[in-house]
């Protein structure tokens, strides 16, 4: 597979979806509804979903698409999928509603349970992170040239930790307190959506601990970016997150440079 060429196409699809999101974002009062789990849904989520699914269907007609907005939770319908697209049309809907710009379009190609191509585009910031197996990981701001990115190989003080802006919990706070008690000096940056992963991939932060609920479409594209930048996204047993599971929820996980299990002893939850 020519991942380089495919990556260019998917970048274009993500940016086109971002334009559809911004059209709604710039309205005075975008409509917000709520799903059964009380997570918010906007017209922008739906517009982005429709655009991405149609474009991916034209790009690779044989590949199924699993999107947050058209999810089929019945495993029997997808258990034979060796290759498929995994999409979050608008990651960070709460950030979209707050109008802080920290929301993204996430598109990943999953092959045999692992992300081999990923694009994370933040339309309001005009900031794009993208990666593919054997191609590397890149960051592109606006119309500037794309720059290859790498994780920080060795941790220095202060320990730069990214955390969810909307989903901090007691487990995360205890984890941070344990880091400090053991001689680290965590410097916390709160940010929304999959941009947390991208700060790790770009070497702008060291660690992202996640001890709260996430779904597969929340993490796949960004996991690819981190891995191709030399980092890791692992559960608390040290295994990379796996995709197309019977249950689409992710386990708790750690995102960091090449040795994420350094941080496992500070977690209050274990496998």
Q: How confident is the prediction along the chain (271 residues), in pLDDT tens digits per residue?
A: 799 999 999 999 999 999 999 999 998 776 777 665 556 678 899 999 999 999 999 999 999 999 998 876 689 889 999 999 999 999 998 888 888 999 999 999 999 999 999 999 999 999 999 999 999 999 999 999 999 999 998 888 899 999 877 667 888 889 999 999 999 989 999 998 999 999 999 999 999 999 999 999 999 999 999 999 999 999 999 999 999 999 999 999 999 998 888 998 998 765 4
Q: Which pLDDT score is estimated for 37?
A: 58
Distance CA 18, CA 50 (A): 12
Q: Which pLDDT score is estimated for 72?
A: 66
Q: Which pLDDT score is estimated for 269?
A: 65
Distance CA 222, CA 253 (A): 13
Distance CA 81, CA 58 (A): 19
Q: Which pLDDT score is estimated for 36?
A: 55
Give me 205's structure tokens: 């932060």
Q: Which pLDDT score is estimated for 271?
A: 45
**Contact yes or no for 87/217 (Cβ under 8 A):** yes
SS3 73: coil
Distance CA 43, CA 41 (A): 7
Q: Which pLDDT score is estimated for 51?
A: 96
pTM attached to this predicted model: 0.93
């Amino acid at each position: 597979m020519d991942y380089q060429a495919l990556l260019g196409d998917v970048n274009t699809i993500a940016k086109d979806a971002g334009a559809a999101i911004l059209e709604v974002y710039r309205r005075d009062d975008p409509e917000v509804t709520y799903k059964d789990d009380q997570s918010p849904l906007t017209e922008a989520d739906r517009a982005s979903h429709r655009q991405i699914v149609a474009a991916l269907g034209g790009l690779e007609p044989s590949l199924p698409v699993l999107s947050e907005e058209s999810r089929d939770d019945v495993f029997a319908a997808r258990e034979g999928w060796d290759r498929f697209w995994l999409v979050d049309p608008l990651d960070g809907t709460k950030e979209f509603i707050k109008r802080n710009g920290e929301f993204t379009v996430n598109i990943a190609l999953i092959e045999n349970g692992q992300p081999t191509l990923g694009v994370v585009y933040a339309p309001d910031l005009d900031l794009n992170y993208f990666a593919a197996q054997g191609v590397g990981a890149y960051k592109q701001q606006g119309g500037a040239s794309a720059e290859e990115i790498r994780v920080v190989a060795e941790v220095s003080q202060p320990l730069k930790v990214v955390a969810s802006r909307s989903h901090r919990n007691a487990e995360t706070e205890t984890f941070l307190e344990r880091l400090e008690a053991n001689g680290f000096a965590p410097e916390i940056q709160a940010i929304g959506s999959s941009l947390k992963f991208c700060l790790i991939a770009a070497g702008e932060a060291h660690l992202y601990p996640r001890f709260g609920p996430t779904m597969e479409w929340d993490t796949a594209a960004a996991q690819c970016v981190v891995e191709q930048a030399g980092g890791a996204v692992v559960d608390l047993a040290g295994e990379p997150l796996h995709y197309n599971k019977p249950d689409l929820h992710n386990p708790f996980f750690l995102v960091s440079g090449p040795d994420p299990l350094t941080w496992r002893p500070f977690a209050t939850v274990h496998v």
